[in-house]
Amino acid sequence: MPPTKQISYIYLSDKRESKKNLSSSCSDALKVGVEGMMMRNSTLVCVPIMAESVGEMVTDMGKAKGLGADLVEIRLDYLKTFNHNEDLRRLVKECPLPTLFSYRPKWEGGQYDGDEQNRLDALRLAMDLGADYVDVELQVAREFISSIEGKKPERLKVIVSSYNFEETPSVESIGNLVAAMQATGADIVKIATTCLDITDVARTFQIAVHSQVPSGCEELAHVPLIGLGLGERGLISRILSAKFGGYLTYGMLEPGTVSAPSQPTIKDLIHLYNFRQIGPYTKVFGVISKPVSHSKSPKLYNEVFKSVGFDGVYAHLLVDDIQKFFQTYSSMDFAGFSVGIPHKEAALKCCDEVDPVAKSIGAINCIIRRPADGKLFGFNTDYVGAISAIEEGLKGSHNNSGKNTTSGSALAGRLFVVIGAGGASKALAYGAKQRGARLVSLAWEPPETGVFKLNLDGSQKNGSRLLCGGRDP
C-alpha cells in the first residue's frame, strides 16, 4: 500500500488563474496543497528511440536498458523506411523493455507526413503485436479508441497527448484540455507546453497534483498524467515530475538525440539529479541565473545530498524575473537557492531579511527559506570565497615582500582593482577593503557617461581617478 503523503504546493502569482468550474475541494487544493493524498514514488523513466533504421533502434533499446530506463518510446516517424508488419514484429520481439509506440505527424511536431489512416493502422498493429503503450494525439483519439473497442488487450494503455509549441495556457485552460482528453477514454493523459517563463511550469504541477485527488474532484481525478514543459525554462518539469506525481518523465539516450526541447539525458536524470530518490517530500534547491546551463553547482550539491542521505534535489533554474519566481514558488519545499548573474542585486528585494554584510555590499548570492517561518533570508558568500582564494594565491609570492601585513592579509596595503559593476564586483570590492587593501577601484566604462566609482555601501558615483585598461583615464 503506497504511503500517504502531504503534497507541498505552489502559489501562483495570478490568483485569477484558479479553475472556475472545478468543485470547491479542487479550488481549495489549488491554493495551499492536498492533505492525505495517496502518492506513489514510482514515476517511470522513458527514453525516446529516434534512429533512422530498425537495426539502430534495436541497438539503442539495449543501450537504454543498460542506462537504467524503465521503458522506451519508439518513434516510428523517424524511420527512413518502414514495413509495418515486418518492422513492428521485430521491434516488439527484440525490445528488452516495455514499449511505447508513437507515430507523430508533422502537424503535432513529428516527422510523419503521409496518409493518416496508414499511420493509425500502424499503431493498431503495434497494439496487436504486444505493445505496452501507444500514444495518439487528442485530435484523433476518439476515432482511434473507438476503433479498438472490444479488441484492446488488458495490458495496453492508450496515452492521449497534446502539444502546445507556442505557450503554456492558464490553469483553467489546461484543466479544460485535460478534462477533454480524459473524456476520450484515455488511460493516461500527456500534455506538453512551451514555457516562456519558468513560472509556467507551476501550472503543470498544479494539474499533475489534481489528477491524483482520490475524491471530490472528479473532473481531473483518477487518470494518470504526464506533464512536460518544453524549452530550457521547463527543465524542472522533468526533474520534479516524481515529486508532483507524474506518470513518467523522459531522458534522452545521449546528447543530440532530443525528441523535445529541454530533455536531460537519462544519465543526468538518474545520476546527476538522483531522480530515483525524488519523491513528494523532496526539498528543492537550485541555481538561479541567466544563462544557467553552464553551472556546475547541481553536480556538486546533488553529490553531497546523496552522500549524506538528504532528501533534496538541486537544479538549474533559468529565471527571467526573480521576483515573479519567488512569488510563484512560495512553498516551504522550495528551500534554498544560489543566485547568479544578473539577479544578485535584484534578489535583495525578494528577501524578508538580509544579512548586514550583504546589505553593505548591495548584492546577495544565497537565499534560504527558513523552516521556522518560511521567510526568505539573503546573504553573500562571494566576497569570502573570492577574497580567500586571492589571498591564498598571493601567499609566498615574492611580490608580497615589504607589504603591510598588519591585518594578517596578503592584500593589506595592495592596490586592488575590480573590473566590472555587478553584484560579484561589489562583493570583491567590499572584501578587499575589509582585508586592508590600499585602494578599491571599480573600472567600468558605460558608453554614455564614462567611468564610475564604487562606494563601500554599494552605491555608485562619478569617479575622478580610476584605473581603466591598465592606465589612468
State pLDDT tens for residues 159-175.
Answer: 999 999 999 999 999 99
Q: Is residue 471 part of a domain?
A: no
Peptide bond into 342 cis (omega under 30): yes
Q: Is residue 335 part of a domain?
A: yes
Contact 74, 101 (CB under 8 A): yes
Residue 344 bears catalytic tag: yes
Most confident listed range (33-42, 249-258, 289-298): 289-298
Instruction: From the candidates 344, 359, 426, 453, give the one annotated as an active-site residue.
Output: 344
Domain count, the chain: 3
Q: Which pLDDT belongs to residue 464?
A: 32
Higher pLDDT pick, 452 / 100: 100
Mean pLDDT over residues 243-272, rounded? Answer: 89
Do 322 and 458 lie in a common domain? no
Do 203 and 331 lie in a common domain? no
Indicate the range of 59-63, 82-86, 219-223, 460-464 predicted with least confidence.
Answer: 460-464
Contact 288, 337 (CB under 8 A): yes
Nearest to 200 by CA among 173, 179, 160: 173
- Using DSSP's 3-state secondary structure scheme, residue 295 falls into coil
Do 349 and 424 lie in a common domain? no
Q: Is residue 472 part of a domain?
A: no
> Which sign does the torsion angle of CA 193, 198, 200, 203 carry?
positive
Give the position of cell 531522458.
251
Separation CA 226–CA 191 (nearest Å): 6
Q: Is residue 198 part of a domain?
A: yes
Torsion of CA 115, 116, 121, 127, to 10 degrees: 140
What CATH number is associated with residue 219? Answer: 3.20.20.70
Mean pLDDT over residues 193-202, rounded? Answer: 98
Do 195 and 241 lie in a common domain? yes
Q: Which pLDDT belongs to residue 32?
A: 36
Domain that holds residue 428: 404-462
Confidence class of residue 17 from pLDDT cuts 50, 70 and 90? very low
pLDDT tens per residue across span 372-401: 999 999 999 988 888 888 888 888 664 554
Q: Is residue 289 part of a domain?
A: no
Confidence class of residue 9 from pLDDT cuts 50, 70 and 90? very low
Is the pLDDT reported for residue 33 higher than 90?
Answer: no
Tell me the average pLDDT of the chain.
84
Do 133 and 200 lie in a common domain? yes
Separation CA 230–CA 108 (nearest Å): 14
End position of a domain, from candidates 341, 365, 380: 380
